[in-house]
Structure formats: structure tokens, C-alpha cells
Amino acid sequence: MAADKRKRGALPAGKGKRARTGPSAAEAEAAPAGAPQEYSIPPPVCQGKWKNKERVLIFSSRGINFRTRHLMQDLRTLMPHSKADTKMDRKDQLFVINEVCEMKNCNKCIFFEAKKKQDLYMWLSNTPQGPSAKFLVQNVHTLAELKMTGNCLRGSRPLLSFDPIFDKEPHYALLKELFIQIFSTPQYHPKSQPFVDHVFTFTVTDERIWFRNYQIIEEDASLVEIGPRFVLNLIKIFQGSFGGPTLYENPHYQSPNMHRRLLRLSVAAKFREKQHVKEVQKEKKKASKVLVKEDPTEVVFDTPAEEKPVEIQLVKPESKPIVKDKKKLRKIQRKKQKKLFRTES
């Protein structure tokens, strides 16, 4: 019979794996010259203990487009402490996500929700107690675009850079702590690398949060954008995970439906204005023309022309012969001159 199969990497019974240790000074002197020497295994790069066990679940609902799918994949690539899951059905309630995070052993979640196949919403939540925030995602650009020329080590830990306004407003301070816990890679994570070569920036401009990812170049400490890039428009902050009492509501937020409605109304207003101008022009053409009275001052600067005496011509003018050929005309003139010369002689 064939030998018993054993798992890959397993050792036979009764044999244990032991690390090679370097020979001591006495052993090295006692060992013969031709005997093979044993070398010690170098210690790992990081000997620390993985204490901050943050795990982030990144997944989406059904109905997302290709750009959202690429953005989700880029975030999974940049965050080694993230996990993936299948798409969630639209009919399911958002509270189900807490159970999915519990099954996946995740305590943070990034959920992309698509509506009308054109509007993208992002949920950032601390499961299962909360809080959670809902954003409208705009101006998405992925890693695969040619404008992003930077590059970083896969699995490296990022630096997080925040705008000073995150320390002034209370709702921004809450979002800052949420961003730190979600986007920062835990120290000594098994899938992470002990390098820091890129930085995540969160900037507040025009009542929106702008996310950028830059590579740190060692030569001159300049920054080159890696991607992805997107803009987060805050909608609400909830006390619980994916629901609960509202802690903050953005007064400057305008829904995409309202934005599209205002655009349609502006186009319709321009069309109505053009139609009104045409109707006014037609009414002006149909209206009777008002006769303007004669102005007596019009003839003030008119100067009368000089009167010339009338001359009456009694002799009929001689008719000139119509000759097309110039040579014939010259011959006729010569003949007339000869006749006149003869008569005079």
C-alpha cells in the first residue's frame, strides 16, 4: 500500500521542529575543521505584538457601476487589514450589516450603497455600537487612471494628514476619530509591511471632505499622487451603527435629485424666456405703425442748387461710326483727312 499521506508542512510523529542555534566559542574550538557549521535563523523584522486588532469590512450593494467597483478594490489594496464580502441585496435592511460584520469578525465597516445606478453613498460605521456617518461620494478617480503616476509598497502603513478644521468643529472631530480607526493600518499587522511611504490627506473645502493619497519620495521629500481620489459630502451622523438618533445633519447638503431638478428648471426657464421674446416681437410686428409728424426743422440745413441757363442746341451732333476694328477706324479717319486736304487745295 502507498505511504500514508500527511499535510503539507507537517512533521512526522515524534519529531519536533527546532531552530538552529549558533555554536558557542568552546564548541567552535572543539569542533573539527572539516565539520559543517550551523547558523542561527535571523529574527523577524518586527517582534512586536499585534494589539490593535482593527478589521474593516469593505463591500457594497447590488447595482454599482464599474468605477465604484474599482474604487472599492483600490481601498482593499491600500488597507491590508480589510476584508471582503459578497454584494448585499437592495431589499435587505442596513441593520443586517452588523450581523455580517460579526460573522466576519470585523469591528469597522465601509459600505457602498448605489441608488438609481448613478448616485453613490458611502457608510462609515463602528459596529455594532456606533457611531456611523453617511456620505455622498462625488468625483471618483481610481488607481488605474494615467494621471496617477505615484506608486507605493503593497501593505505599507500610511500617514494620516488632517485639515486644521477637524480640531475646531465637534462633528469634524468625531469624523477624524472615525477616519483614524478605519484607514490607519494597525501596527504589527500580519499582512502589513514595516514601511511608511505614502500619506492619506483629508482636506475640508467647500463644505466637503477631499480624500487624496500621495507617495513620499525619499530624495527630496516631494509628494506624487497615487490615487484613488474622491470627495465626501457629509449627509448625517448617527449615534448607532447604520441608524439610530441623528447627532448631526449637514445644512449645506443638497440631494442629487434636487440638484438635477434645479438644472431642469433652469433649462426650462431659459426656454420660456426665449419663447416670450418671440411672442413680443410678433406683437410688435402686428401692431399698427404710428405716423410721425413732419418736422419743420428738417429743411434748415438744405442748400438750394445753383440755377444754370438753359442752352438749346440747334445743330444735330455728328454720329460717330461704330467700328469694332481699330484698323478700319484709322483708315476711315485718313480718308476724311485726304478729302479735306483736296478741297482746301
Helix, strand, coil percentages in the chain from 3-state DSSP, rounded to 5:
30, 25, 50
Question: For 215-273, how does the pLDDT look when each residue is reduced to its tens digit (9 = 90+)?
Answer: 998 777 789 999 899 999 999 999 999 999 999 999 999 999 999 999 999 999 999 99
Q: 114: closest CA among 132, 95, 133, 87?
A: 87
* Predicted confidence (pLDDT) at residue 123 exceeds the cutoff of 90: yes
- Inter-CA distances, 334 with 98, 306, 327, 340, Å: 124, 44, 11, 10
C-alpha cell at 281: 416681437
The residues, ordered by sequence, that sit 6+ positions from 232 with a Cβ below 8 Å of its Cβ are 122, 135, 136, 137, 138, 208, 209, 210, 211
The residues, ordered by sequence, that sit 6+ positions from 76 with a Cβ below 8 Å of its Cβ are 58, 82, 84
* Predicted confidence (pLDDT) at residue 2 exceeds the cutoff of 50: no
Strands (E), 33-153: 56-60, 82-84, 108-115, 119-126, 132-141
Residue 324 per-residue DSSP state: S
Positive or negative, the CA dihedral 291, 293, 294, 297 is negative
Confirm whether pTM is higher than 0.75: no
Taking residues 96-103, what's their average pLDDT?
A: 94
Q: Could you tell me if 232 and 115 are in contact, meaning their C-beta atoms sit under 8 angstroms apart?
A: no
Question: For 124-138, how does the pLDDT look when each residue is reduced to its tens digit (9 = 90+)?
Answer: 999 989 899 999 999
Domains of the chain with CATH codes: 56-259 (3.40.50.10480)
